[in-house]
Amino acid sequence: MSRKLRMGMVGGGRGAFIGGVHRFAAGIDGQIDLVCGALHVDPEIAKLSGEDLYLSPERNYKTYYEMFEKESQLPADERMDFVSIVTPNFVHFEPAKLALENGFHVVCEKPLSFSLEEALILQKLVEETGLTFTVTHTYTGYPLVKQAREMCTSGVFGKIRKVVVEYPQGWLTTPVEQSGNQQASWRTDPKRSGKAGSVGDIGTHAENLAETITGLKITELSADVSKFVENRLLDDDANVLLRFDNGAKGVLHCSQIAAGEENALNIRVYGEKGSLQWHQHDPNTMYVKWLDKPMEVYRTGGGYLGASAAAHTRTPAGHPEGYLEAFANIYRDFTKVVQAKLDGVEVDPIYNDFPTVEEGVRGMKFIDAVIESGENNAAWTKI
């Protein structure tokens, strides 16, 4: 019989952003207890952070090394089942590797790792261990993204011809990393973020969304990559031409200097018979257009939606579901898969639906291709 899962967390202490988001998301469905953590690189902050979260002192670890070691030694009915890794990019690989090597399932922030090499090692480890691993490309957790994927891949729009995906943000319009903004600081630091700035932070979300919804793969791209803010160390803008494996063409642009924009992730997919548009700011609405009849507006909770959208919605139509519910869908599905493993049963396939390590690897390849193309004056580059 299923039981609640026990979660550990690496990162996410005081001052962090995404760690709290993971905890909100893990909390919604009442299937997960946070039991331990290595919440901060500074032991004192780690301690206080754990107290904030009511961790018992003995499981409020100083380091993730300690956490993996101690948790591994706990009895099976006590030790954590999985770890959430919510640290900056350069601290994804090691804890993820340790987790897998010690038999813990993993929820890992995106991008998967600091480099493609690391990503490939993790992918291999997941294959070898058979453990469950997800990369939190949150946006594919929205019910209407599931619906979009179902409609595109089932062929109702005919062959897909064109994809326009964009993710404009404005929060790095000025050099905020030079005046102490913690979130900006590591994201614009090549030592902590990797070779990409905006391309890694949000471009990968756009890439993941486009490939997830269409079921297509980007085969090559041509990227004009920019650093607009003086003395910034990583890209803050990219405009990218895309070509897909079925012959479709596309445009992807992402920016962190799009003044005044929030998280304006938007996708349009055009097929031979119709098209769709979905925008993250109004995630419960999807526009479906046809050649010869009125545009239809699909809404989260609508009785006409497919099985996957319905399975990832908590409330009836008219109760806006947001970012945290999309995030919680990843945790909920991850939980169901792990619970099924614990119970020795097959999980209902409809819930086996979260971004995998393969998608994480794909994101790293995308980063490499965009940065390489950018360095070559937007030369076409294979992905």
- Positions 38 through 57 that interact with a second copy (CB under 8 A): 53-54
Collapsing DSSP states into helix, strand and coil, what is residue 371? helix
The correct pick among 49, 113, 204, 275 for binding a second copy (CB under 8 A) is 275
The site that binds a second copy (CB under 8 A) totals a number of residues, namely 89
Residues in 147-186 that interact with a second copy by CB under 8 A: 157, 161-162, 164, 166, 168-171, 173-174
Q: How far is the CB of 240 from a second copy (least distance, A)?
A: 8
Q: How many Å separate Cα 325 from the centre of its chain?
A: 13
Report if residue 217 touches a second copy, rule: CB under 8 A. Answer: no
Q: How far is the CB of 372 from a second copy (least distance, A)?
A: 16
Q: How far is the CB of 293 from a second copy (least distance, A)?
A: 5
The correct pick among 296, 340, 341, 352 for binding a second copy (CB under 8 A) is 296
As given in the structure block, the two tokens for residue 207 are 């890439």
Residue given tokens 């919680």 in the structure block:
328
Instruction: Show the site string, 226-245: x = touches a second copy by CB under 8 A, - = not.
Output: x-x--------x-x-x-x--
Report if residue 281 touches a second copy, rule: CB under 8 A. Answer: yes
Report the 10 Å Cβ neighbour count for 246: 13
Collapsing DSSP states into helix, strand and coil, what is residue 258? coil
Residue closer to a second copy, measured from CB, 11 or 250: 250
The correct pick among 262, 343, 348, 375 for binding a second copy (CB under 8 A) is 262
Report if residue 81 touches a second copy, rule: CB under 8 A. Answer: no
Report if residue 378 touches a second copy, rule: CB under 8 A. Answer: yes
Q: Which residues 6+ apart lie within 8 Å of 218 measured at CB? A: 207, 210, 211, 242, 243, 244, 245, 250, 366, 383
The correct pick among 15, 117, 190, 297 for binding a second copy (CB under 8 A) is 297
The correct pick among 200, 250, 355, 363 for binding a second copy (CB under 8 A) is 250
The correct pick among 292, 344, 346, 349 for binding a second copy (CB under 8 A) is 292
Residue closer to a second copy, measured from CB, 73 or 231: 231
Window contacting a second copy (CB under 8 A); options: 57-65, 70-78, 128-136, 249-257: 249-257
Report if residue 77 touches a second copy, rule: CB under 8 A. Answer: no
CA 170, CA 227: separation in Å to the nearest integer? 14
Residue closer to a second copy, measured from CB, 30 or 349: 30
Q: Calculate the dihedral angle through the C-alpha atoms of 47, 36, 88, 118, rounding to the nearest 10 degrees.
A: 140
Q: How far is the CB of 341 from a second copy (least distance, A)?
A: 18
Distances (CA, A) of 99 to 55, 77, 115, 125, 343: 20, 18, 18, 10, 21
Instruction: Show the site string, 314-353: x = touches a second copy by CB under 8 A, - = not.
Output: xxxxxxxxxxxx----------------------------
Residue given tokens 């904030």 in the structure block:
52
Distances (CA, A) of 330 to 138, 149, 263, 333, 380: 7, 16, 19, 5, 34
Give the H/E segment covering residue 240.
Answer: strand 237-244
DSSP state letter for 117: H
CA 112, CA 135: separation in Å to the nearest integer? 7
